[in-house]
Each structure stands twice: as structure tokens, then as C-alpha cells.
Structure 1
Amino acid sequence: MAPNKHTPHVLIFPYPSQGPLNCMMRLAELLAISGLHVTLLNTNDTHLRLCLSSASLPAIPLLRFKSIPDGLPEDRPRDASLLRDVAESLNKNSRLLLYDLLLAMKNDEYSSDGFPPITCLISDGFFPSFVDLAEDIRLPCLSFRTPSACSMWAYLCIPKLLENGELPFGEGVDLDEVVQGVPGMEGFLRRRDLPEFFRGAKSADDPQLKFMSTVSAYSSKAKGLILNTAEVLESTSVHHIRAQIPVTYALGPLHAILDSYRSARSCTDASSHTSSLWQEDTECLKWLDLQTDNSVVYVSFGSFTTLTQEEFHELFFGLINSGHKILWVLRPDMVQGLAWTDEIKRALPEEQGRIISWTPQQKVLAHRAVGCFVTHSGWNSTLESIVEGVPMLCWPFFLDQQINSRFVSEIWRVGLDMKDIRNRDLVEKMVREMMEGESAARFRKSARDLADAVKESISDGGSSFREFHRLIEDIKSMSIGQQCDS
């Protein structure tokens, strides 16, 4: 059936890195499977990497892919060290390109591929200028913040923390002192559980504090805020965010909702594509098949975390000394000053495990052989572990990871948090606690219970299920409103 003049068409623009792309691409697929036209817009570099790493892009009739330059020279590497450079370039150099593209797609009649004009923009919340851009061309814009709700709430509380005198910390303070300026977390959130740049701030004018505070507050200018979470996980944070941003959708975990929709609609191509920007090593799944239940420690620190050589050695020997089987994802750029060679891969005795460069993480976490997950506590990884009922040993580094790891250990009680203490003895001790005896059984039961609660939230009638359908209906209403305005 050809689209009519009220057909909704959403353009989704993720931040050009693995984490945001993961969940925003899942949202794009979900909306397209649900009958909305969707254009997923990436930077040229991200789109090329996605095409090279994936067996194929998803063949969904109502989903298409486009790309624009990020404004940086083509020969400049796009790695973790240039994360801020890419963001600044997109906000400055690519803004006019995006403006022209949106205006053309908004005003055009049906394009050659049958897509109607766009009626809504969903932009990563790290691009506050795009909210203004959409407003300039009278296009409804929703902001998508891809970290956890608890971290988003902490960012929104930066002005209150400054007013209370709890920021900046100053030197030599007790990092275990409980923070009072984040309502709902007064009983357990310590200074050390706040993002790492909070600690480094020397004054209220600290550039990172001001940037994060401004970016977070800007979400209130959009038509709504999308969070990849479930209320059963973060009800208090979602409640407080809604007090400032009333139209807030808590509709995650998106990867679990997408899996459910694919299954219900018998999407046979689901396993042939991925949102990974790295080539996945699927041979590790065959190795896992040979292991006994709950016998493997899975280790992965995501797409941007880097380790010093000292941190690498402490983690390595702690894992080895635990005596447990290990599957370790070690990116080529992960250890500072240490080349990723066959020698590193062979450093782990073959009988004790494997070191690989990238892995299909959801499938690994779902495997019966995995007993715990040593993680950087990135939000996508945390959600994937929760859904599969896998306990976590948290080694957080930056942004939302510090708060996420605190929730893992103190609120959900599905793991342990070893932030700020990184030595082989503690690694060994905590791995044993996660994998052996009564403590391991307790963590696994808590993880299974939490997984059941989250899965209920995405099932028919659950809170995330309802929130997702509310989002769809609101996008449809925006589409009708667009036609009435034009």
C-alpha cells in the first residue's frame, strides 16, 4: 500500500559510536517492523564500518539507511581519542548539511523509493543544537539519551549539587561520603559513584560539568525524551526525570523488545545482520559449547574503554589466578602502548580460555556456560547481562558506568563493584566470590529474578510494552499535526 499524506516517517540520527548506534538502530528496526517509515542516518564513516562488519543490513521494507559527512578530514582516524572532536565537528561543520537534508526530506513529495516526507526527528541527546535545528524547520524532535536513567538524573542534578556545595569536591575529600543532592539516591550514592569528570572538576565553571548539564537540560526543549530502560529497574530515577521532562518514555531494554518482535513476526533474517562496527568472532560460541554450565568468566569492556599496561597486567593475573575458564574480548586498541598480537592471544593458556578481538555479546551472555560477566558497566552491556540473568563483576571507567555499577551491587544486588581498586588480589577474590559456592548461587538467583521482572515489563501489558506503543501513537499524532501545519 502506498503511503498517504498522513504516513509517519521518522529520521533517527545516533551519535557515531558503538553504544548509541546499538540501541538507536534497534529502535529504528522496531518502529519499522511496527509499520512506520524510518530513515536511519549515520555519518559516512560509521555507515561504511557498519556495512563492512555486518553480513548484511536488515532487509526491512520500511527501513532505509542514509549517511552524511562528519566534517572531519577523510584520512583522520575515528577512534576513542577523537570522540569529542567528532561531536564538535557534527555540531558545527555538519549542522548545515543536516539542515538542508531535513528540509529537503520534509518538503519533498514521495521519494523515488516510495518514502513519504519526514514527520519526526529522533536525535541523540548529545546533539542539543539539532533540537533547535528541527524547531527552525517546524519538525517535531524527540531526544534519545542512551545511558541509564539514573545517570541522566544525576546529570540533571548538577545545578543542585553545585548549589548545595557538593560540587566541586575539592582535593583530599572522602570519596565514600554519601551525596545528598541527587533525590532518590540519598541513602547509597557516594561521591565515588558519580561520573569521573565530577571528581576532576575544579570549579563550577568546569567545561565538562557545564556541557553535561546543558546537554541534559536541553532534552526538555524537545517534544519528549526517550530512555532505554524499564521502570522496574529505575522507577525512582524515571519518576524524578518526569518531574522535569513530563513526556519521558521508559521503553527498554530495546534489544529484548526487538528480539521479542522478531520472534513474533518470524523475522528469518534476524541473525544475518548486526549493529556491530567490528567483525564478530563467532568461533567463540563453539568453544563455549564445549564448556560446562556456569564455568566461564566472560570479560569485555566495550567499544571505548582503554587500559594502561599496569591495569591490564593486574586484571590478567587476577583472572588467571582465579583458576576459572575465561573468554576475554580485547580490542586491538584497548591496551595503551601494547600492540595486539598473537603473542597477547597466546598469553592466556589454551586450557584456561581464549582472548578474542570482538564477540556477538548477546549470544555469549545467553550461553549456558557463562557464569559471570566482568564488565565496564556500560549501559548496553548492563542491560544485556540483566536480560540473560548473568551476574556482573563491575570495573567502571567513565560517564554513566560509575552509577550503573553502584546499582548493580547495591540496588539490584546482582553483582559486585570493584571501582577504584584495581589489583590482581581483589580481582581473584571477587571472581571466586562470583563463581563459587553459596555466594555464586545467591548472585545467580538474584540475577534470574531480575531477568524475569524485566522480561515481564516487555511482555504484552508490561510497562515497557505500553511505553513503546505510546511512543508510536505519539509519533503518528505528530505526523497528522505536521500535515495540518503545512
Structure 2
Amino acid sequence: MLKVKDIVKMGFKREKDGAGGMIDNMVKQMKASSGIIWNSFKELEESELETIRRDIPAPSFPIPFAKHFTASSSSLLEHDRSFFPWLDQQPPKSVVYVSFGSVAQVEEKHFMEMVHGLVDSKQLFLWVVRPGFVSGSTWLEPLPDGFPGERGRIVKWAPQQEVLGHEAIVAFWTHGGWNSTLESVCEGVPMICSPFWGDQPLDARYVSDVWKVGVYLENGWKREEITGAIRRVMTDEEMRERARVLKQKLDVSLMKGGSSYESVESLVAYVSSF
């Protein structure tokens, strides 16, 4: 499933003090642990969870965190809610939400490709541009005059789960970090993935090739591909239906007797047994 360029982009090396060494240590600690809580749910990664259960003897408890607590409650950045009146006025399934997490950074030339890609798509958008996201800029200095205009809104930070659950949101352009990916799955929102490093290329490949609920922008920041990806996600009814079905499976798993419900019950019983 993975391509060579995905593995290269993940950036994991076997050096003792590098990311590869950190992962080796994580696996050792998991194998020695009394139990493992996974931020996921059975129906999303059933075969992968079964493989883990064969390789790691510790009890596993897949629980989708996004449905049990709000990530925004622990955010280190202040949320801007001033855009909600604008978002509330937009038609259902009309706005592309754009956010690349709390760490990623891009060069100015790539930032401008993103700007042109959004403009050329002619779609409504809500864009989270974190201060420092553009290398060499404090915040929005590179933006051309008149952008974003009435078609979009730009904020420094936003309550992501609330935004993804808004009826006006039709797609999520994301870096593909696992928290963001799962939050999007939980709300049935198709994705456009522009991964940077770590697990993100793997998550993006699952979104596009396994679950088929999004598009992987594999060739970097090219305005034509950005525009094409936005238009595809806006109009691909089969993709949107698959995203809706995944959300439905998650919702069912949370009901009494469902896999996530039972996982929480099992975890409580397991912890209480000590």
C-alpha cells in the first residue's frame, strides 16, 4: 500500500537517538505494558488491530477520543470564534475547512500556491493560519491585497471538532495528523491530505487508498492540483457517501453493545480489577 516516497517522507531512521529509536522504545514499552488504549475504533482498523493483538500480548482498548472529550479543551492556543456568524450563513456542504495543525511550517512560495489553489477553486473556505506557519513571517504578511475577500475567512486558531461538525463544512484540507484524521472521520467529512512527516503520509494513504474518503496531494504544493483536489472532493458523491458510512459505523460503535461502548466498559472493568 505504501509507496517509497511515503516512507521517505515519514522521516523515520534507525539511528539510536532518532525517531526510529524512539519508535523501537515505544514498541518495547507497549509489549511490557499492562494494557493499551488506542485512539481509534474497531470498524476503522479491524485488521490492523487484530495484527497488533497477535504481536503484543497486552489487552487493547480501541476508544475514539474525539467522541469522549473535546481536544480544544486542552489547546495551548486561544480559539477565535468570530467566524461562526459568517459560517452559520453559508449553505450546507459549501465550505472547505483548512488547517495544518499546531507544528507544521511552509515556505512562502508554497503558501502562495495554497492561496492560488483556493482562489482558483472558487469555493468558500475557512482557513486556520497559525502565527509562524509561514517561514519568515509573523502571520499574514505574504497575503496579496484583497485576499481572502468575501469567499473566505482566515483565523489564527479554531475549535476544530466544532467546525468539522458544522453543517456548512463539506471538506477538510489537512496535514493528516491522526487526531485530525479521526476527528474528520467522526464527523463524516471527506479529506484532502497534504502530509509533512511522521505518521501523516501513512494516514494520508489510508484516507485515499484504503478508506477512500479523501484525496492525497502527493506532489507537494501545486495550485492546479490543489484546485483539482478541492473540486473533486466537493463533487465526488461516492467519496462523500463512504465518509458518511464511516461516521455511521462510528456512531453505532458508541451505542450500547457497540464495539467502542464495550471497549470502554472492558477498560473500566480491567482497571477496577487491580
TM-score normalized with structure 2 length:
0.92
1:263-306 Cα shifts (integer Å, max 9, x gaps): xxxxxxxxxx8222111111222111111111111100011111
The partner residue of 2:11 within 188, 191, 197 is: 197
How far is 1:210 from its partner? 2.3
The reply on whether 1:381 has 2:195 as its aligned counterpart is no
2:244 alignment partner in structure 1? 448
8 Å Cα contact 1:408/1:416 also seen in 2: yes
1:231 alignment partner in structure 2? 42
2:21 alignment partner in structure 1? 210
Q: Which range moves more in the overlay, 366-375 or 417-426? A: 417-426
How far is 1:223 from its partner? 1.1
Q: Which amino acid aligns with 1:197?
A: G
How far is 1:381 from its partner? 0.8
CA distance in 2, matches of 1:419, 1:248: 36
The partner residue of 2:61 within 250, 275, 280 is: 250
How far is 1:423 from its partner? 0.7
Aligned CA distance change for structure 1 residues 346 and 354 (closer, same or farther; 3 Å): farther
Q: Which amino acid aligns with 2:40?
A: T
2:258 alignment partner in structure 1? 462
Q: Which amino acid aligns with 1:368?
A: E
How far is 1:204 from its partner? 6.6
SS at match of 1:274: helix
- Where do 1:228-377 residues align within 5 Å? 228-258=39-69, 274-341=73-140, 344=143, 348-377=147-176
8 Å Cα contact 2:53/2:60 also seen in 1: no
SS at match of 1:455: helix
CA distance in 1, matches of 2:228, 2:55: 43
Aligned CA distance change for structure 1 residues 346 and 240 (closer, same or farther; 3 Å): farther
8 Å Cα contact 1:280/1:359 also seen in 2: yes
CA distance in 1, matches of 2:152, 2:246: 29
8 Å Cα contact 1:348/1:355 also seen in 2: no
Q: Which amino acid aligns with 2:238?
A: R
Structure 2: gaps (5+ residues): none
How far is 1:419 from its partner? 2.6
8 Å Cα contact 1:225/1:245 also seen in 2: no
SS at match of 1:327: strand
How far is 1:192 from its partner? 2.7
1:416 alignment partner in structure 2? 215
How far is 1:446 from its partner? 1.1
1:119 alignment partner in structure 2? none
CA distance in 1, matches of 2:28, 2:74: 29
Identity of aligned residues (%): 36
CA distance in 1, matches of 2:205, 2:10: 14
Q: Which amino acid aligns with 1:215?
A: M
SS at match of 2:215: strand
2:231 alignment partner in structure 1? 432
8 Å Cα contact 1:257/1:458 also seen in 2: no
Aligned CA distance change for structure 1 residues 377 and 347 (closer, same or farther; 3 Å): farther
CA distance in 2, matches of 1:204, 1:307: 26
Q: Which amino acid aligns with 2:174?
A: T
Task: Output the aligned Cα RMSD.
Answer: 2.0
8 Å Cα contact 1:327/1:355 also seen in 2: yes
Q: Which amino acid aligns with 1:276?
A: S
CA distance in 1, matches of 2:145, 2:67: 35
CA distance in 2, matches of 1:304, 1:204: 23
- Where do 1:46-195 residues align within 5 Å? 188-194=1-7
8 Å Cα contact 1:294/1:371 also seen in 2: yes
CA distance in 2, matches of 1:420, 1:426: 8
8 Å Cα contact 2:101/2:177 also seen in 1: yes
SS at match of 1:328: strand
CA distance in 1, matches of 2:23, 2:5: 18
CA distance in 1, matches of 2:141, 2:89: 23
8 Å Cα contact 2:113/2:222 also seen in 1: yes
Aligned CA distance change for structure 1 residues 212 and 347 (closer, same or farther; 3 Å): farther
For the pair shown, which has the larger CA radius of gyration, 1 or 2? 1
CA distance in 2, matches of 1:243, 1:349: 51
Aligned length: 272
CA distance in 2, matches of 1:236, 1:375: 25
Structure 1: gaps (5+ residues): 1-187, 260-272, 479-486
1:399 alignment partner in structure 2? 198
CA distance in 2, matches of 1:362, 1:205: 37
8 Å Cα contact 2:33/2:58 also seen in 1: no
How far is 1:357 from its partner? 0.2
CA distance in 2, matches of 1:290, 1:360: 18
8 Å Cα contact 1:311/1:422 also seen in 2: yes
CA distance in 2, matches of 1:360, 1:396: 21
Q: Which amino acid aligns with 2:273?
A: S
How far is 1:353 from its partner? 0.5
CA distance in 2, matches of 1:287, 1:216: 46
CA distance in 1, matches of 2:104, 2:42: 28
1:129-148 Cα shifts (integer Å, max 9, x gaps): xxxxxxxxxxxxxxxxxxxx
CA distance in 2, matches of 1:204, 1:351: 50
8 Å Cα contact 2:148/2:154 also seen in 1: no
